[in-house]
Amino acid sequence: MTIADGTSQEADMGGLLRVGMVGYGFMGAVHSHAWRTAHRFFDLQLTPQLTALAGRNAAGVAEAAERQGWLSAETDWRRLIERDDIDLIDICTPGDMHSEIAIAALQAGKHVLCEKPLANSVADAAHMAEVARSAAERGVFAMCGFTYRRTPAVTLARRFVQEGRLGDIRHVRAQYLQDWLSDPDAPLTWRLDKQKAGSGALGDIGAHIVDMAQWVTGASVTDVSAMMRTFVTERPVAGERAGLGGTGSSEGPKGPVTVDDAAVFTARFDTGAIGVFEATRMALGRKNALRLEVNGTRGSVAFDFEEQNVLEFYDGSDAADAHGFRRIIVTEPVHPYVGNWWPAGHGIGYEHGFTHQVVDLVSAIAAGEQPRPSFDDALGVQRVLAAVEASAAAGSAVETVLS
Ligand code: SOE
Protein backbone atom coordinates (compact mmCIF):
# COMPACT_ATOMS: atom_id res chain seq x y z
CA MET A 1 0.00 0.00 0.00
CA THR A 2 1.45 3.35 -1.05
CA ILE A 3 0.61 5.77 1.75
CA ALA A 4 2.03 9.02 0.42
CA ASP A 5 3.42 9.51 -3.05
CA GLY A 6 5.41 12.67 -3.48
CA THR A 7 7.74 11.20 -6.08
CA SER A 8 8.73 13.37 -9.01
CA GLN A 9 6.63 12.71 -12.06
CA GLU A 10 9.40 13.04 -14.69
CA ALA A 11 9.84 9.63 -16.25
CA ASP A 12 13.59 9.65 -16.78
CA MET A 13 15.23 11.07 -13.70
CA GLY A 14 18.69 11.29 -15.26
CA GLY A 15 21.51 11.98 -12.81
CA LEU A 16 19.53 10.70 -9.85
CA LEU A 17 20.09 7.56 -7.82
CA ARG A 18 16.60 6.84 -6.53
CA VAL A 19 16.69 5.03 -3.20
CA GLY A 20 14.12 2.81 -1.54
CA MET A 21 14.91 1.98 2.10
CA VAL A 22 13.44 -0.81 4.21
CA GLY A 23 13.34 -0.10 7.94
CA TYR A 24 13.28 3.14 9.91
CA GLY A 25 14.79 2.48 13.33
CA PHE A 26 18.19 3.75 14.50
CA MET A 27 19.94 2.56 11.34
CA GLY A 28 17.13 3.89 9.14
CA ALA A 29 17.53 7.32 10.67
CA VAL A 30 21.29 7.49 10.23
CA HIS A 31 21.10 6.07 6.70
CA SER A 32 18.44 8.69 5.84
CA HIS A 33 20.80 11.40 7.11
CA ALA A 34 23.57 10.03 4.89
CA TRP A 35 21.38 9.85 1.77
CA ARG A 36 20.26 13.47 2.38
CA THR A 37 23.76 14.78 3.08
CA ALA A 38 26.34 13.09 0.84
CA HIS A 39 25.83 15.13 -2.35
CA ARG A 40 25.71 18.37 -0.36
CA PHE A 41 29.27 17.90 0.88
CA PHE A 42 30.84 15.72 -1.82
CA ASP A 43 30.79 16.04 -5.62
CA LEU A 44 28.84 12.99 -6.78
CA GLN A 45 28.04 11.97 -10.36
CA LEU A 46 24.63 10.75 -9.19
CA THR A 47 22.42 12.61 -6.74
CA PRO A 48 20.66 10.35 -4.22
CA GLN A 49 16.92 10.83 -4.02
CA LEU A 50 15.04 9.59 -0.96
CA THR A 51 12.27 8.10 -3.08
CA ALA A 52 10.47 5.64 -0.80
CA LEU A 53 10.61 4.32 2.75
CA ALA A 54 9.06 0.95 3.59
CA GLY A 55 7.89 -0.34 6.94
CA ARG A 56 5.11 -2.60 8.19
CA ASN A 57 3.45 -0.09 10.49
CA ALA A 58 1.49 2.36 8.30
CA ALA A 59 1.42 5.20 10.82
CA GLY A 60 5.02 4.64 11.87
CA VAL A 61 6.49 4.56 8.38
CA ALA A 62 4.43 7.59 7.28
CA GLU A 63 5.73 9.59 10.27
CA ALA A 64 9.31 8.44 9.68
CA ALA A 65 9.10 9.25 5.95
CA GLU A 66 7.88 12.75 6.75
CA ARG A 67 10.49 13.30 9.43
CA GLN A 68 13.44 11.88 7.45
CA GLY A 69 12.53 13.46 4.08
CA TRP A 70 11.36 10.46 2.07
CA LEU A 71 9.09 11.31 -0.91
CA SER A 72 6.78 8.34 -0.39
CA ALA A 73 6.05 5.53 2.02
CA GLU A 74 5.10 1.88 1.54
CA THR A 75 3.94 -0.79 3.98
CA ASP A 76 5.36 -3.68 1.95
CA TRP A 77 9.06 -3.80 0.94
CA ARG A 78 8.08 -5.79 -2.14
CA ARG A 79 6.54 -2.59 -3.56
CA LEU A 80 10.03 -1.08 -3.61
CA ILE A 81 11.21 -4.00 -5.76
CA GLU A 82 8.24 -3.59 -8.11
CA ARG A 83 8.54 0.18 -8.54
CA ASP A 84 10.44 1.30 -11.64
CA ASP A 85 11.29 4.64 -10.03
CA ILE A 86 13.73 3.04 -7.59
CA ASP A 87 17.34 2.21 -8.50
CA LEU A 88 18.77 1.02 -5.16
CA ILE A 89 17.41 -0.80 -2.12
CA ASP A 90 18.89 0.07 1.29
CA ILE A 91 18.23 -2.70 3.82
CA CYS A 92 18.00 -1.52 7.43
CA THR A 93 16.00 -4.41 8.84
CA PRO A 94 16.79 -7.14 11.35
CA GLY A 95 19.14 -9.73 9.88
CA ASP A 96 16.50 -12.39 9.20
CA MET A 97 15.14 -10.26 6.33
CA HIS A 98 18.44 -9.33 4.67
CA SER A 99 18.69 -12.34 2.39
CA GLU A 100 15.17 -12.30 0.94
CA ILE A 101 15.17 -8.56 0.29
CA ALA A 102 18.71 -8.35 -1.12
CA ILE A 103 18.26 -11.31 -3.48
CA ALA A 104 14.90 -10.01 -4.76
CA ALA A 105 16.37 -6.53 -5.29
CA LEU A 106 19.48 -7.74 -7.13
CA GLN A 107 17.47 -10.09 -9.33
CA ALA A 108 15.18 -7.13 -10.16
CA GLY A 109 18.23 -5.14 -11.28
CA LYS A 110 18.41 -2.84 -8.27
CA HIS A 111 21.65 -2.03 -6.46
CA VAL A 112 21.76 -2.98 -2.76
CA LEU A 113 23.22 -1.53 0.43
CA CYS A 114 22.72 -4.04 3.25
CA GLU A 115 23.37 -3.42 6.95
CA LYS A 116 25.78 -5.68 8.81
CA PRO A 117 26.12 -8.47 9.54
CA LEU A 118 25.23 -9.58 6.03
CA ALA A 119 22.94 -12.39 7.17
CA ASN A 120 22.05 -14.61 10.12
CA SER A 121 23.89 -17.62 8.68
CA VAL A 122 26.78 -18.50 6.39
CA ALA A 123 24.35 -20.30 4.10
CA ASP A 124 22.26 -17.16 3.59
CA ALA A 125 25.36 -14.98 3.27
CA ALA A 126 26.85 -17.33 0.68
CA HIS A 127 23.63 -17.27 -1.35
CA MET A 128 23.56 -13.46 -1.22
CA ALA A 129 27.20 -13.27 -2.31
CA GLU A 130 26.56 -15.65 -5.20
CA VAL A 131 23.60 -13.58 -6.45
CA ALA A 132 25.64 -10.38 -5.99
CA ARG A 133 28.54 -11.75 -8.08
CA SER A 134 26.13 -12.56 -10.87
CA ALA A 135 24.39 -9.17 -10.62
CA ALA A 136 27.74 -7.35 -10.73
CA GLU A 137 28.33 -8.88 -14.18
CA ARG A 138 25.19 -6.98 -15.21
CA GLY A 139 26.40 -3.74 -13.64
CA VAL A 140 24.19 -4.11 -10.57
CA PHE A 141 26.22 -3.74 -7.38
CA ALA A 142 25.89 -4.63 -3.68
CA MET A 143 27.73 -3.32 -0.62
CA CYS A 144 27.58 -4.31 3.07
CA GLY A 145 27.46 -1.54 5.69
CA PHE A 146 30.67 -1.91 7.67
CA THR A 147 30.85 1.86 8.13
CA TYR A 148 33.74 2.07 10.59
CA ARG A 149 36.16 1.42 7.73
CA ARG A 150 35.25 4.93 6.59
CA THR A 151 36.46 6.66 9.74
CA PRO A 152 39.46 8.73 8.59
CA ALA A 153 41.64 7.53 11.48
CA VAL A 154 40.93 3.92 10.53
CA THR A 155 41.76 4.54 6.89
CA LEU A 156 45.04 6.10 8.11
CA ALA A 157 45.83 3.00 10.18
CA ARG A 158 45.32 0.84 7.12
CA ARG A 159 47.56 3.12 5.05
CA PHE A 160 50.33 2.91 7.64
CA VAL A 161 50.14 -0.90 7.49
CA GLN A 162 50.13 -0.88 3.69
CA GLU A 163 53.14 1.49 3.62
CA GLY A 164 55.07 -0.88 5.90
CA ARG A 165 55.35 1.64 8.72
CA LEU A 166 54.36 -1.05 11.22
CA GLY A 167 56.54 -3.72 9.65
CA ASP A 168 55.31 -7.31 9.91
CA ILE A 169 52.12 -7.52 11.97
CA ARG A 170 52.35 -9.71 15.08
CA HIS A 171 49.38 -8.71 17.28
CA VAL A 172 45.81 -7.56 16.69
CA ARG A 173 43.81 -6.50 19.74
CA ALA A 174 40.18 -5.61 19.00
CA GLN A 175 37.35 -4.73 21.36
CA TYR A 176 33.87 -3.43 20.87
CA LEU A 177 32.46 -2.42 24.26
CA GLN A 178 28.97 -1.05 24.86
CA ASP A 179 26.78 -1.07 27.97
CA TRP A 180 23.20 -0.49 26.80
CA LEU A 181 22.17 -3.97 27.92
CA SER A 182 23.82 -3.83 31.35
CA ASP A 183 20.41 -3.09 32.94
CA PRO A 184 18.57 -6.43 33.33
CA ASP A 185 15.31 -4.50 32.88
CA ALA A 186 16.30 -3.27 29.43
CA PRO A 187 13.50 -4.87 27.43
CA LEU A 188 13.55 -7.67 24.93
CA THR A 189 14.06 -6.25 21.44
CA TRP A 190 14.66 -8.06 18.16
CA ARG A 191 18.41 -7.82 18.81
CA LEU A 192 17.96 -10.32 21.66
CA ASP A 193 16.04 -12.85 19.57
CA LYS A 194 18.27 -15.34 17.73
CA GLN A 195 15.64 -15.94 15.04
CA LYS A 196 15.60 -12.21 14.16
CA ALA A 197 19.20 -11.19 14.87
CA GLY A 198 21.18 -14.39 14.31
CA SER A 199 23.38 -13.71 17.32
CA GLY A 200 23.82 -11.03 19.97
CA ALA A 201 26.96 -9.01 20.64
CA LEU A 202 28.90 -11.29 18.30
CA GLY A 203 27.00 -10.44 15.12
CA ASP A 204 25.87 -6.96 16.10
CA ILE A 205 29.24 -5.48 17.12
CA GLY A 206 31.71 -8.36 16.88
CA ALA A 207 31.16 -8.28 13.13
CA HIS A 208 32.49 -4.71 13.05
CA ILE A 209 35.78 -5.55 14.75
CA VAL A 210 36.32 -8.65 12.62
CA ASP A 211 35.83 -6.59 9.46
CA MET A 212 37.98 -3.74 10.76
CA ALA A 213 40.84 -6.01 11.88
CA GLN A 214 40.92 -7.80 8.54
CA TRP A 215 40.62 -4.57 6.53
CA VAL A 216 43.28 -2.61 8.44
CA THR A 217 45.81 -5.46 8.48
CA GLY A 218 44.98 -6.95 5.07
CA ALA A 219 45.07 -10.34 6.82
CA SER A 220 42.31 -12.93 7.19
CA VAL A 221 41.32 -14.85 10.30
CA THR A 222 41.90 -18.58 9.76
CA ASP A 223 41.21 -20.15 13.18
CA VAL A 224 39.47 -19.08 16.39
CA SER A 225 38.95 -20.29 19.91
CA ALA A 226 35.96 -18.70 21.60
CA MET A 227 33.73 -18.27 24.62
CA MET A 228 30.26 -16.76 24.54
CA ARG A 229 28.05 -15.85 27.51
CA THR A 230 24.48 -14.74 28.14
CA PHE A 231 24.47 -12.99 31.52
CA VAL A 232 20.78 -12.00 31.54
CA THR A 233 18.70 -14.92 30.31
CA GLU A 234 15.25 -13.29 30.39
CA ARG A 235 14.05 -9.72 30.08
CA PRO A 236 10.82 -7.68 30.26
CA VAL A 237 8.81 -7.91 27.05
CA ALA A 238 9.23 -4.60 25.17
CA GLY A 239 6.14 -2.37 25.29
CA GLU A 240 6.74 0.63 23.05
CA ARG A 241 9.30 0.26 20.30
CA ALA A 242 12.19 0.13 22.71
CA GLY A 243 15.33 1.55 21.20
CA LEU A 244 18.86 0.86 22.31
CA GLY A 245 18.85 0.66 26.08
CA GLY A 246 15.17 1.52 26.46
CA THR A 247 13.93 0.53 29.90
CA GLY A 248 11.17 -2.00 30.37
CA SER A 249 9.35 -2.86 33.56
CA SER A 250 10.68 -5.53 35.90
CA GLU A 251 7.11 -6.35 37.03
CA GLY A 252 5.62 -7.21 33.65
CA PRO A 253 5.86 -10.39 31.58
CA LYS A 254 9.33 -11.62 30.70
CA GLY A 255 10.69 -13.47 27.71
CA PRO A 256 13.85 -15.48 27.01
CA VAL A 257 17.07 -13.95 25.69
CA THR A 258 18.26 -16.36 23.01
CA VAL A 259 21.54 -14.71 21.99
CA ASP A 260 24.93 -13.97 23.54
CA ASP A 261 25.53 -10.92 25.70
CA ALA A 262 29.28 -11.20 25.17
CA ALA A 263 31.73 -13.05 22.94
CA VAL A 264 35.50 -13.29 23.41
CA PHE A 265 37.88 -15.15 21.13
CA THR A 266 41.47 -15.58 20.13
CA ALA A 267 42.31 -15.71 16.46
CA ARG A 268 45.09 -16.79 14.12
CA PHE A 269 45.60 -14.84 10.86
CA ASP A 270 46.83 -16.17 7.53
CA THR A 271 49.92 -13.96 7.89
CA GLY A 272 50.97 -15.60 11.16
CA ALA A 273 49.69 -12.74 13.30
CA ILE A 274 47.54 -13.58 16.31
CA GLY A 275 44.56 -11.68 17.67
CA VAL A 276 42.38 -11.19 20.73
CA PHE A 277 38.78 -10.07 20.21
CA GLU A 278 36.05 -9.00 22.67
CA ALA A 279 32.49 -7.90 21.94
CA THR A 280 30.02 -7.06 24.69
CA ARG A 281 26.99 -4.85 25.28
CA MET A 282 27.46 -5.23 29.07
CA ALA A 283 30.72 -3.30 29.66
CA LEU A 284 29.23 -0.84 32.17
CA GLY A 285 30.55 2.63 31.38
CA ARG A 286 31.73 1.91 27.84
CA LYS A 287 29.22 3.50 25.45
CA ASN A 288 30.59 2.84 21.99
CA ALA A 289 34.20 1.89 22.56
CA LEU A 290 35.30 0.23 19.38
CA ARG A 291 39.03 -0.21 19.88
CA LEU A 292 41.77 -1.60 17.68
CA GLU A 293 45.48 -1.92 18.40
CA VAL A 294 47.89 -3.43 15.90
CA ASN A 295 51.49 -4.19 16.88
CA GLY A 296 54.13 -4.81 14.24
CA THR A 297 57.90 -5.26 14.11
CA ARG A 298 58.48 -1.56 13.32
CA GLY A 299 55.52 0.23 14.85
CA SER A 300 52.03 0.14 16.36
CA VAL A 301 48.72 1.92 15.92
CA ALA A 302 45.88 2.28 18.42
CA PHE A 303 42.35 3.55 17.77
CA ASP A 304 39.31 4.11 20.01
CA PHE A 305 36.05 5.18 18.36
CA GLU A 306 35.16 7.16 21.49
CA GLU A 307 37.97 9.48 20.28
CA GLN A 308 37.44 8.76 16.62
CA ASN A 309 39.31 11.80 15.27
CA VAL A 310 42.58 10.54 16.78
CA LEU A 311 44.96 7.75 15.77
CA GLU A 312 47.81 6.85 18.11
CA PHE A 313 50.97 5.80 16.30
CA TYR A 314 54.21 4.43 17.76
CA ASP A 315 57.18 4.64 15.40
CA GLY A 316 59.78 2.12 16.46
CA SER A 317 62.45 4.07 14.59
CA ASP A 318 62.13 7.08 16.92
CA ALA A 319 65.25 7.86 18.92
CA ALA A 320 65.10 6.63 22.52
CA ASP A 321 64.55 10.16 23.83
CA ALA A 322 61.41 10.44 21.68
CA HIS A 323 59.87 7.03 22.38
CA GLY A 324 56.13 7.13 22.85
CA PHE A 325 52.80 6.94 21.04
CA ARG A 326 52.11 9.97 18.87
CA ARG A 327 48.52 11.36 18.94
CA ILE A 328 47.71 12.10 15.31
CA ILE A 329 44.68 14.42 14.99
CA VAL A 330 43.20 13.03 11.79
CA THR A 331 41.43 16.19 10.67
CA GLU A 332 43.82 17.56 8.06
CA PRO A 333 42.41 17.71 4.51
CA VAL A 334 45.18 15.36 3.36
CA HIS A 335 43.13 12.49 4.83
CA PRO A 336 40.25 10.86 2.89
CA TYR A 337 36.82 12.53 3.30
CA VAL A 338 38.06 15.11 5.86
CA GLY A 339 38.59 18.00 3.46
CA ASN A 340 34.89 17.99 2.57
CA TRP A 341 33.86 18.74 6.14
CA TRP A 342 35.23 21.20 8.63
CA PRO A 343 38.59 22.96 9.17
CA ALA A 344 41.37 21.02 10.91
CA GLY A 345 40.65 20.24 14.56
CA HIS A 346 36.86 20.48 14.36
CA GLY A 347 36.32 16.74 14.01
CA ILE A 348 33.55 14.53 12.72
CA GLY A 349 30.97 12.26 14.36
CA TYR A 350 29.32 8.86 14.20
CA GLU A 351 27.03 9.80 11.32
CA HIS A 352 29.89 10.83 9.02
CA GLY A 353 30.94 7.22 8.41
CA PHE A 354 27.49 6.58 6.95
CA THR A 355 27.77 9.62 4.68
CA HIS A 356 31.21 8.44 3.54
CA GLN A 357 29.64 5.03 2.87
CA VAL A 358 27.07 6.66 0.58
CA VAL A 359 29.80 8.70 -1.15
CA ASP A 360 31.84 5.59 -1.94
CA LEU A 361 28.81 3.50 -2.92
CA VAL A 362 27.38 6.16 -5.27
CA SER A 363 30.83 6.81 -6.77
CA ALA A 364 31.37 3.10 -7.43
CA ILE A 365 27.96 2.71 -9.02
CA ALA A 366 28.53 5.76 -11.23
CA ALA A 367 31.91 4.32 -12.28
CA GLY A 368 30.48 0.83 -12.88
CA GLU A 369 32.84 -0.62 -10.25
CA GLN A 370 32.29 -3.04 -7.36
CA PRO A 371 31.93 -1.09 -4.09
CA ARG A 372 33.69 -2.44 -1.00
CA PRO A 373 33.01 -4.10 1.35
CA SER A 374 31.30 -6.40 -1.11
CA PHE A 375 28.99 -9.23 -0.15
CA ASP A 376 31.99 -11.54 -0.57
CA ASP A 377 33.91 -9.45 1.98
CA ALA A 378 30.91 -9.66 4.31
CA LEU A 379 30.64 -13.43 3.72
CA GLY A 380 34.21 -13.69 4.98
CA VAL A 381 33.17 -11.95 8.21
CA GLN A 382 30.12 -14.23 8.47
CA ARG A 383 32.40 -17.28 8.28
CA VAL A 384 34.44 -15.98 11.20
CA LEU A 385 31.28 -15.38 13.23
CA ALA A 386 30.12 -18.94 12.51
CA ALA A 387 33.50 -20.35 13.56
CA VAL A 388 33.30 -18.37 16.80
CA GLU A 389 29.85 -19.79 17.54
CA ALA A 390 30.98 -23.32 16.69
CA SER A 391 34.07 -23.00 18.89
CA ALA A 392 32.09 -21.63 21.82
CA ALA A 393 29.54 -24.43 21.44
CA ALA A 394 32.38 -26.96 21.47
CA GLY A 395 33.82 -25.64 24.69
CA SER A 396 36.28 -23.18 23.07
CA ALA A 397 37.82 -25.80 20.81
CA VAL A 398 39.90 -24.31 18.00
CA GLU A 399 37.62 -23.90 14.99
CA THR A 400 38.88 -23.34 11.47
CA VAL A 401 37.28 -20.57 9.41
CA LEU A 402 36.14 -22.52 6.39
CA SER A 403 36.55 -20.71 3.05
C1 SOE B 1 24.08 -1.50 18.45
O2 SOE B 1 24.97 -2.22 19.11
C3 SOE B 1 24.68 -0.65 17.33
O4 SOE B 1 23.64 0.15 16.87
C5 SOE B 1 25.16 -1.50 16.16
O6 SOE B 1 24.09 -2.29 15.63
C7 SOE B 1 25.72 -0.59 15.06
O8 SOE B 1 26.21 -1.36 13.97
C9 SOE B 1 26.85 0.25 15.65
O10 SOE B 1 27.33 1.15 14.66
C11 SOE B 1 26.37 1.03 16.86
O12 SOE B 1 25.76 0.13 17.83
Residues 181 and 292 both lie in one domain? yes
Which residues have a Cβ under 8 Å from the Cβ of 112 and sit 6 or more positions away? Answer: 88, 89, 90, 91, 102, 105, 106, 132, 141, 142, 143
Residues 123 and 167 both lie in one domain? no
Residues 257 and 131 both lie in one domain? no
What is the pLDDT averaged over residues 374-379? Answer: 98
Last residue of a domain, one of 91, 118, 148: 148
Question: Which residue of 205, 209, 211, 306 sits with most ligand 1 atoms within 8 Å of its CB, as the best mutation to test the pocket?
Answer: 205
Residues 168 and 221 both lie in one domain? yes
Residues 250 and 298 both lie in one domain? yes
CATH code at 18? 3.40.50.720
Task: Domain count for the chain, please give it.
Answer: 2
Residues 114 and 156 both lie in one domain? no
* pLDDT classification of 5: cutoffs 50, 70, 90: low
Residues 330 and 184 both lie in one domain? yes
Ligand 1 centre to CA of 206 (Å) is 10
Ligand 1 centre to CA of 225 (Å) is 24
* pLDDT classification of 93: cutoffs 50, 70, 90: very high
Which residues have a Cβ under 8 Å from the Cβ of 74 and sit 6 or more positions away? Answer: 1, 2, 3, 20, 52, 53, 54, 55, 61, 80
Q: Whose CA is nearest to atom 9 of ligand 1?
A: 205
Last residue of a domain, one of 121, 148, 175: 148
Is residue 62, in this structure, part of any structural domain at all?
yes
Residues 126 and 189 both lie in one domain? no
Strand, helix or coil for residue 303:
strand
Residues 144 and 156 both lie in one domain? no
The model's pTM is 0.94
Ligand 1 centre to CA of 10 (Å) is 38
Ligand 1 centre to CA of 117 (Å) is 10
Ligand 1 centre to CA of 259 (Å) is 16
- Which ligand 1 atom sits nearest the alpha carbon of residue 147? 10
Q: What is the pLDDT of residue 10?
A: 37
Residues contacting ligand 1 via CB (< 6 Å): 26, 178, 204-205, 244
Q: Is the pLDDT of residue 7 over 90?
A: no
**What is the span of the domain harbouring residue 51?**
9-148
Is residue 329, in this structure, part of any structural domain at all?
yes
| HSE, side-chain direction, 13 A CA sphere, residue 215 | 23
Tell me the pLDDT tens digit for each residue of 199-213: 999 999 999 999 999
Residues 170 and 136 both lie in one domain? no
CATH code at 236? 3.30.360.10
